[in-house]
Structure 1
Amino acid sequence: MPSGELSEDQDQVRPTGAEGGPPSLWSNPAYRIFLGVQTLSALGDSFSYVALPLLVLHSTGSVLQMGLVTGLTGVASILTGLVAGVVADRFDRRRLLMLADGARCLLYLLIPLAWISSTPIWLIYTVVPIAGCFSMLFQVTYVTVVPAIVQPDQITKANGHMYATYAVASVAGPALAGFVASSAGPAAAIGIDSATFAVSALGVLLVKFNGRPKPTSPAQRGNISEEFLAGAKFLWAHPVLRPLTLLLSLITFLIYGLTDLVIYLVKHELDHPDTTVGYVLTAGTVGSFIASAAVARVRKRLGFGVTWISAFSLAGLSVAGIGLSGSVPVIAVLMTITLMCTGIAGICSMSLRQEVTPSHLLGRVTSSFWTIHTALGPIGAAITTAAAAGAGVTTVCLVMGVVVLAVALTGTLTGIARPHAVEPVNPVDSVDRPTGEAA
């Protein structure tokens, strides 16, 4: 284990198990409840992803209006992401999680109630973007509370579990929403969606934090732009997070449109039906499950730098292989490898930020990181898909894979490859420990 990283046999101000060793994640009731809450919230988001466009289509018959609703939600989420970190650092995070889920419950409940007597499309245009704002607030806030629920050396494993819940929700949610929508109507599916958020909000009440994260004091607060820049400044000053953010921005630019390219390759260039496309993308989801199960062991054995660089290097080779292969089964296997590698790298990246960032800054650092590294993604998707239309998917994937490999290997020349730069903050310095809460 490289110096500066925590191992499972280090004792870091935590309760011990029955035989004096550290407790497992599953023996932590707060973690079990929080994982269930996270699963319900993710399932609700996945329900919305399918049920809302279906409701618009059923009510208007217009694919354009479906796209407008989706676009408005995306814009609302991005704009909220700019300030969500400031909010998460200023206010009580338990209450913010409950507020986000409770608000989405009430907002989505308005839709099936209104659809009993009429079909007010304007309500969807009003409700859905606001719900998107609360969804982004939840996502940022949940990242900030994970270190207050699990022990420092369990953060990567916990993030792996939560990554798996998103993968499950992304598969099960749309399937369940489609089934309910076809049997009882899209409005009923949205009603079920509302119920998942209600249960999730109540579940947060039962989660016991190891400590209460320190919010920023009034003396530390500036205007919103200054507080947002505090997160960006922390990223820039950190010897690992700075190159990590820059390299990941380039990689996101390159691979953001990969799913679109694979769909085009399988359906149009290889002339297979939609069902085959579904099989290939489902196979890719298997990679997400593998990543969630393996990431903690891999990182413990190899360290952060080697894990992150190796994962994206292998992902680059897999993307290049997709371009060279004309076989659907091979493409499915390579998509599985690609999503496994990007999953491992992403979980490690999130865990590192949670480990090295003081609690009172974690919301702003999370918002800054997400905003910066995803900003170029949509532009990259437009460029790569346009290039594929002219030069073909084979050429674009080959070039994309080689460049991703080169960018990942560049990490060996930066602080990412220096394990001594990865210094977790002291959890005692990051939280207040009120009387009656676990140390």
Structure 2
Amino acid sequence: MSDRGWGAVLRLADFRLLWIGSTLSALGSQLTGLALPLFVLQQTGSPTAAGLVATARMLVSYVVQLPGGVMADRFDRRAILLAADTGRAASLAGVGVVALARPDGTVWLIVALMSLEGMLTTLANLASTAAVPQLVPERQRPAALALGHAQHNAVLLVGPLIGAVLYRLHPAVPFVLDALSYLVALGLLLRVRTPLGGGRRVAASVRGDIALGLRFVVRSRYLLLMIGWSALMNFATAGVSFVLVLVVGSRNGGLSLGVSLTVMAAAGLAGAVLAPRFRDVDEDRLIRTATALIVVLGVTGALSPGPTALTVCTAGVAFLSPLIVVPKNARVYALVPDELMGRVQSSLFLIGGSLYPFATFVTGRLVETGSARSAMWVYAGVFAMVLVISVIPQFRRSAALAAVADRR
């Protein structure tokens, strides 16, 4: 039996506890992701207010990324996770109380509570991501990362539907269950015995610690290329998905869009299931081949931007993405020392995801001023740029391993 598949990773007791807890939390977040804008819209009658809550939460998450990376390195990561789960449970319970009482003029209270939840989620994500090397041996990290992709796509499959059903029972139900999911995750975390790292202060100030992390990234050609690669990949993937939403939603209605998004999530889950099975093949060849296929899918969507073709295109991208992302992220763990892991990961999340929030706006403008076809040609071109980065020698596995050897 392989010691590098999902089963072997889940036999690591402490990792299993954290993974189950994070899965429950992610499912809870999917429940409230649908319920929150519906409740605010119902309370205020204002689409602007409904969008304000999500925007404020996103902005807070971006603002705390780099300081959050410092915290994940300076403080005990287990303590950060415990505090984050406690605070998130309280925040969601507060929104649940608001949904039960339905007082007037509470939109700013909801903004504050969800912004707090977003900040704590960012801190928790950084601490848990930085803690993976403490829990999982290097040879098993690709499987652990693939489990993360599987978790994301699995909750996308079932979360919105369950959330809609629960919201119809009562608007407070999804928020209360989300709060309970954090409490369960907290209980599981209390059973983790492995030290999760952190607790090392290097610079005299938070600004100095941030600068240390950024300097480490800047001095690594691999990490610099990784940031550019991630920014383009995230932007194009989000853009293609929104083209699907616009085309299918406008032509075939909500039910067909739901089917298309379900197919996309199922394809992503299938890709995450298969990703660990490719661990013995040439990683760079796999990454180049999968990226080239994504370029082909983008071109196919541009040539035939109908609902069926776009569903196939986005599903194909979702299926291939874990095959590319898993080995790339595993190399980051091998390259970065534990005392800098939080800061480097926060830099990758912040800068690598910097273009992501603009994808829907850019896509909307491209479709409005041109067509879905022109939008897909743009994203096929961005995927081609990703492919070019993938063949640069400094972005290959040999370069990452050489950087690890030099650091040691």
Report the equivalent of 1:279: 259
Q: Distance in 2 between matches of 1:407 and 1:176?
A: 36
Partner of residue 278 from structure 2, selected from 295, 298, 303: 298
Q: Which residue of 2 aligns with 1:225?
A: 207
How big is the shift at 1:67?
A: 0.6
1:339 aligns to what? 318
Aligned CA distance change for structure 1 residues 125 and 247 (closer, same or farther; 3 Å)? closer
- Indicate the SS of the match to 2:281: helix
* TM-fit CA distance, 1:423: 5.4
- AA in 2 matched with 1:336: A
Counterpart position of 1:50: 34
The percentage of counterpart residues that share the same residue type is 22
Is 1:409 aligned with 2:393? no
Q: Counterpart of 1:176 in structure 2: which amino acid?
A: I
Which residue of 2 is the match for residue 99 of structure 1? 83
- Residues 385 and 320 (structure 1), Cα distance of their counterparts in 2 relative to 1, 3 Å cut: farther
Shift of 1:347: 2.5
**1:370 aligns to what?**
349
TM-score, length-scaled by structure 1: 0.85
Deviation at 1:141, TM superposition (A): 1.1
Match of 1:206 among 168, 178, 191: 191
Provide structure 1 residue ranges, at least 5 long, that are not aligned to the other structure. 1-7, 11-22, 431-439
**CA deviation after TM superposition for structure 1 residue 212, in Å:** 4.9
| 3-state SS of 1:301 partner | coil
Pair 1:69–1:266, CA change in 2 (3 A): same
Quote the Cα distance in structure 1 between the aligned partners of 2:358 and 2:118: 22
User: Match of 2:243?
Assistant: 261
Shift of 1:358: 0.7
Count the aligned residue pairs: 402
Q: CA RMSD in A?
A: 2.4
Which has the larger helix fraction? 2
Residue of structure 2 in register with 1:40 after alignment: 24
Equivalent residues in 2 for 1:398-437 (5 A)? 398-417=377-396, 419-422=398-401
Query: Does the 8 A contact of 1:104 with 1:197 survive in 2?
Result: yes
Mapped partners of 1:330, 1:35: distance in 2: 35
Asked whether the 8 Å contact 2:270–2:319 carries over to 1, the reply is yes
Find the partner of 1:289 among 264, 269, 273. 269
Instruction: State whether structure 2 residue 220 is matched by structure 1 residue 238.
Output: yes
1:31-56 Cα offsets, whole Å, 9 max, x none, are 22121111012112212211222221
1:158 is matched with 144
Q: Secondary structure at the match of 2:204?
A: coil
How big is the shift at 1:117?
A: 3.9
Give the distance between the partners of 2:229 and 2:100, measured in 1 at CA. 50
Cα distance in 2 between the residues matched to 1:116 and 1:258: 38
Aligned to 1:197: 182
Aligned pair in 2 of structure 1 residues 374, 416: CA closer, same or farther (>3 Å)? same
Separation in 1 of the partners of 2:8 and 2:102?
Answer: 52
Deviation for aligned residue 1:115: 4.3
Aligned pair 1:181/2:167, yes or no? yes
Deviates more, 1:142-151 or 1:345-354: 345-354
Partner of 2:225, secondary structure, is: helix
Cα 1:361–1:334 change in 2 (3 A) is same
* C-alpha separation in 1, matches of 2:399 and 2:305: 44
CA gap of 1:392–1:59, structure 2 versus 1, over 3 A, is same
Query: TM (normalized to structure 2)?
Result: 0.91
Please say if residues 43 and 173 of structure 1, whose CA atoms lie closer than 8 Å, have aligned partners that are also in contact: yes
Give the distance between the partners of 1:27 and 1:117, measured in 2 at CA. 44
* CA displacement, residues 66-114 of structure 1 (integer Å, 9 cap, x when unaligned): 1111111111111111211001001111111111111110111123334
- The one-letter code matched in structure 2 to 1:186 is P
**Residues in 2 aligned to 1:421 and 1:125: alpha-carbon distance in whole angstroms:** 42
In the alignment, the residues of structure 1 paired with residue 101 and residue 318 of structure 2 have an alpha-carbon distance, to the nearest angstrom, of: 44
Aligned residues of 1:355 and 1:424 also touching (Cα < 8 A): no
- Does 1:143 pair with 2:123? no
| Equivalent-residue separation in structure 2 for 1:326 and 1:242 (angstroms) | 34
CA distance in 2: counterparts of 1:316 and 1:322, whole angstroms: 10
Q: Could you say which residue in structure 2 is the equivalent of 1:252?
A: 234
2:157 touches 2:266 (CA, 8 Å); kept in 1? Answer: no
How many angstroms apart in 2 are the aligned matches of 1:135 and 1:105?
Answer: 11
C-alpha distance in structure 1 between counterparts of 2:241 and 2:265, whole Å:
12
Aligned positions of 1:57-68 closer than 5 A: 57-68=41-52
2:96 is paired with a residue whose SS is: helix
Between Structure 1 and Structure 2, whose CA radius of gyration is higher? 1
Asked if the contact 1:50–1:178 (Cα under 8 Å) also holds between the matched residues in 2, the reply is yes
Change (3 A) 1:166 1:250: closer
* Equivalence map 1:89-128=2 (5 Å): 89-119=73-103, 120-128=106-114
What amino acid is the match of 1:51?
A
The amino acid of 2:19's aligned partner reads L
Equivalents in 2 of 1:91, 1:81: separation in Å? 15
C-alpha distance in structure 2 between counterparts of 1:275 and 1:127, whole Å: 32
Kept in 1, the 8 Å contact 2:77–2:198? The answer is: no
How far off is 1:418 after superposition? Answer: 5.0
In structure 2, distance between residues paired with 1:381 and 1:326: 17
SS of the counterpart of 1:207? coil
Equivalent residue, structure 1, for 2:10: 26
Partner of 1:85: 69
Whole-angstrom distance in 2 between the partners of 1:145 and 1:423? 24
Q: Could you tell me whether the CA contact under 8 Å between 1:228 and 1:368 is conserved in 2?
A: no
Instruction: Determine helix, strand or coil for the equivalent of 1:221.
Output: coil
Read off the aligned partner of 1:204 and give its amino acid letter.
Answer: L
CA distance in structure 2 between the aligned counterparts of 1:351 and 1:254, rounded to whole angstroms: 22
**Contact 2:3–2:140, Cα closer than 8 Å, also in 1:** no
Query: Given residue 307 of structure 2, which amino acid in structure 1 is its aligned partner?
Result: V
Q: Secondary structure at the match of 2:391?
A: helix
